[in-house]
Amino acid sequence: DAGVIQSPRHEVTEMGQEVTLRCKPISGHNSLFWYRQTMMRGLELLIYFNNNVPIDDSGMPEDRFSAKMPNASFSTLKIQPSEPRDSAVYFCASTSGGRVLGNTIYFGEGSWLTVV
Amino acid sequence: AQTVTQSQPEMSVQEAETVTLSCTYDTSENNYYLFWYKQPPSRQMILVIRQEAYKQQNATENRFSVNFQKAAKSFSLKISDSQLGDTAMYFCAFMKLNYGGATNKLIFGTGTLLAVQP
């Protein structure tokens, strides 16, 4: 079975440019998460969706960040304009939820973003 | 709010030996899940083991086992017969269980960097 698929795997961009990260969750999963990992702040939850609806976006740093989930099989995280402090590994993760299925969250391989 | 604490930033173990990584958490919830994730140099987050708080029996997965002490809010990971491939960052994580089974978010500790020495 395909896991969580993220693209791009690596991106280097100049400050001020728009960055779009993409995620395809595991088929059948109804919850999707975006996490950011940096040396200084560790793993931070940015936003998560249940059934395509944003549930908690309190971790989104500021208005420069936005996330969408137009359907059950696709989500985007957009940064506009990007800044050097946005350099991080961005993880997308998904789960099927529910007590019976255990709520285990599966992660993609991450998108490494460098803003210069 | 829930917090997860990993007090060992780095640890080292000889190949084939046993090592235990510590994790404590703070919550007022009674129903939750606890997880250990492994992050090798590739940065991929890999689930190692999971424990449901309502289960008294400690979870095991091959060489990996946990010591779950609910009253003490402690959740340590034991790795037996350590292998070079176990070298990685290990994260402890907490998830509150919503009634009805709806998914909630994972809250991570700061991680323990484990080095397995040949």
Round to whole Å and give the CA distance between A61 and B20. Answer: 35
Share of chain A above pLDDT 90, in %: 73
For β-strands B112-117 and B60-61, DSSP reports them as unpaired
Closest Cα in chain B to A99: B101
For chain A, the C-alpha Rg in angstroms (whole number) is 14
Mean pLDDT of chain B: 92
Nearest to B45 among A91, A98, A100 (CB): A91
Distance from CA of A14 to the nearest CA of B (A): 23
Q: Specify the pLDDT at position A102.
A: 55
Contact at CB, B101 and A103, closer than 8 angstroms: yes
A53-92: pLDDT as tens digits: 998 888 998 889 999 999 999 999 999 999 999 999 999 9
B39-64: pLDDT as tens digits: 999 889 999 999 999 888 999 999 99
Pick the closest to residue B75 from B63, B90, B87, B97 (CA basis).
B90
Interface of A with B in 84-103 (CB under 8 A): 89, 91, 93, 95, 97-100, 102-103
Q: Which residues of B touch A97 (CB under 8 A)?
A: 101-103
Residues B112/B48, Cβ–Cβ less than 8 Å: no
Contact at CB, B50 and A93, closer than 8 angstroms: no
